[in-house]
């Protein structure tokens, strides 16, 4: 199994180094066997050269970056297959000490538990059975001159092969369980991320109109206020309030009122620029934050909003008017003071007869 995130070459080299250390430990064990006179040292020397060649090849491919062209840049499968072949060869030449092979095989398979897929591990297990089956046949029935003869009972050979089969089967089973647990964790992580995103949306979005809510708008006002103070660019805040909206609810019902609010939000959103932020402030009130906008431009935009009729689903036009209070951020002014001036301008527009845009001074 390969992660979508690229594995750093330093990590690949570290894992290859760990594999090399383990292989060197096995080589040391074999030379101790040879030094004790339990087997002919000549096959052990040739076996050592073969093991060293494999280690060197893996290190060079990873260090040079050539392994990145392969499906498995860490060469995990190659290292395991090669190590099993070396382990099976050690089983043949170790003489009476060949009982060290099953523990070494267990260590080799441990690398596959976290680096291979279950299908690959099944293939490796079958390969291991074939390799050690052939090694067992060599030990029992073929005695070339370079192989130290020994009188290993067939029952002992069978016991070794049973233990090898147990190691291979248990490693494959463990890989399947680990793979299943990882899949579960990934699924739970996706579900958690979706839940967090949903909670974030609920916390920052108005459920009825889909616009940013009061909490989100306050945060955006804080950010835009800081940016405007640093850049000395103009910042406008408009407070929009639907005139006589209670009459819509009383006459047509609250369901129609909800539809009217949704339609008004869509109408305003279609009039403003992508850089402007429209939010539902509460009830039939909305806030519009316009960065880097001069009052004359903001007033023209809001007049266009005011003049655009609200279209309900089905093409019905609703006679809704809107009063707007507009305020420009003054040097050193806080967001609370800016909001208060926009609110005062809104009430001034209502006192002047509603359905108008009033700029605060």
SS3 of 30-77: HHHHHHCCCCCHHHHHHHHHHHHHHHHHHHHHHHHCHHHHCCCCCCHH
In DSSP terms, 311 is beta-bridged to: 317
Q: State mean pLDDT over 337-348.
A: 95
Q: What is the CA radius of gyration of the chain?
A: 38
Q: Model's pTM, two decimal places?
A: 0.56
For the cut 60, the answer to whether the pLDDT of residue 324 exceeds it is: yes
Q: Report the C-alpha gap between 76 and 82 in whole angstroms.
A: 10
23-61 per-position pLDDT tens digit: 888 888 888 888 888 888 888 899 999 988 988 998 888
pLDDT of residue 5: 53
284 in catalytic set: yes
**Banded pLDDT at 136 (limits 50, 70, 90):** confident
Give me the residues paired with residue 35 across strands. Answer: none
- Residue in this structure with the two tokens 């009459």, named with its chain if needed: 247
Kindly report the backbone phi and psi dihedral angles of residue 152, in degrees, each rounded to the nearest multiple of 5, phi listed first: -70, 125
What per-residue confidence (pLDDT) applies to 153? 76
Residue with the bigger pLDDT between 207 and 8: it is: 207
pLDDT exceeds cutoff 90 at 226 = yes
Q: Please write the tens of the pLDDT for every residue from 270-319.
A: 888 889 999 999 899 999 999 999 999 999 999 999 988 877 666 666 67
Phi and psi torsions of 272, nearest 5°: -85, 170
Q: Say what angle helices 118-141 and 76-93 make with each other, to 10 degrees.
A: 20
- Mean confidence (pLDDT) of the chain: 86
Q: What is the pLDDT of residue 2?
A: 42
Residues 325, 239: Cα–Cα separation, whole Å: 5
Q: Which of 190-194, 196-200, 223-227, 266-270 has the lowest mean pLDDT?
A: 196-200
CB 184 within 8 A of CB 171: no
Closest CA to 288 of 232, 355, 357, 229: 357
Phi and psi at 98, nearest 5°, equal -70, -5
How far apart (Å, rounded) are the C-alpha atoms in residues 242 and 284? 6
Where residue 204 falls among pLDDT bands split at 50, 70, 90? confident
* Active-site entry in 284, 285, 303, 333: 284
Selected residue with higher pLDDT from 84 and 13? 84
Q: What pLDDT, on a 0 to 100 scale, did the predictor assign at position 3?
A: 43
> Quick count: other Cβ atoms within 10 Å of Cβ 299?
18
Q: Phi and psi (nearest 5°) for 181?
A: -65, -40
Q: Which residues contact 305 (CB under 8 A, 6 or more apart)?
A: 240, 267, 268, 271, 272, 322, 324
Rounded CA separation 237/102 (Å): 76
Residues 6+ apart with CB under 8 A from 30: 44, 47, 48, 90, 93, 94
φ, ψ dihedrals at 84, nearest 5°: -65, -40
Span 149-167, pLDDT tens digits: 556 677 887 888 888 888 8
Rounded distance between C-alpha atoms, residue 127 and residue 28, angstroms:
25
> Buried b / exposed e across 137-146, counting CB within 10 Å, b at 16+?
ebbeeeeeee
Give the per-residue pLDDT at 202: 74
Calculate mean pLDDT across residues 250-278: 88
Strand order in the sheet with 277-282: 277-282, 285-291, 235-242, 322-328, 357-359
- The string of pLDDT tens digits covering residues 72-101 is 888 888 889 999 999 999 888 888 888 888
The distance between the two most distant Cα atoms of the chain, rounded to a whole number of Å, is 114
């Amino acid at each position: 199994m390969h992660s979508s995130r690229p594995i750093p070459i330093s990590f690949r080299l570290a894992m290859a180094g760990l594999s090399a250390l383990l292989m060197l430990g096995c080589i040391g064990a074999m030379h101790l066997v040879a030094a004790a006179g339990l087997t002919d040292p000549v096959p052990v020397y040739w076996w050592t050269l073969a093991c060293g060649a494999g280690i060197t090849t893996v290190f060079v491919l990873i260090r040079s970056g050539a392994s990145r062209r392969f499906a498995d840049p860490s060469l995990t499968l190659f290292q395991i297959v090669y190590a099993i072949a070396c382990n099976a060869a050690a089983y043949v030449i170790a003489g009476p000490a060949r009982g060290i092979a099953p523990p070494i095989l267990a260590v080799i398979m441990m690398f596959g538990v976290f680096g291979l897929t279950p299908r690959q591990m099944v293939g490796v297990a079958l390969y291991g059975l074939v390799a050690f089956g052939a090694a067992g046949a060599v030990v029992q029935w073929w005695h070339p001159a370079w192989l130290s003869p020994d009188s290993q009972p067939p029952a002992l050979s069978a016991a070794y092969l049973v233990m090898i089969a147990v190691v291979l089967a248990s490693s494959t089973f463990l890989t399947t369980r680990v793979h299943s647990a990882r899949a579960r964790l990934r699924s739970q992580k996706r579900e958690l991320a979706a839940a967090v995103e949903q909670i974030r949306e609920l916390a920052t979005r108005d459920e009825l109109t889909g616009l940013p809510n009061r909490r989100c708008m306050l945060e955006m006002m804080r950010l835009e206020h800081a940016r405007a103070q640093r850049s000395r660019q103009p910042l406008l805040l408009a407070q929009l309030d639907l005139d006589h909206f209670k009459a819509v609810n009383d006459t047509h019902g609250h369901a129609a009122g909800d539809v009217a609010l949704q339609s008004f939000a869509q109408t305003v959103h279609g009039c403003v620029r992508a850089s402007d932020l429209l939010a539902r402030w509460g009830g039939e009130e909305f806030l519009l934050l316009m960065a880097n906008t001069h009052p004359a431009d903001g007033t023209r935009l809001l007049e266009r909003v005011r003049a655009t009729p609200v279209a309900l689903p089905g093409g019905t036009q609703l006679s809704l008017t809107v009063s707007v209070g507009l305020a420009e951020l003054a040097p050193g002014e806080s967001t609370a003071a800016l909001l208060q001036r926009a609110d005062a301008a809104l009430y001034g527009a209502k006192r002047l007869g509603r359905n108008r845009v009033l700029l605060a001074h």
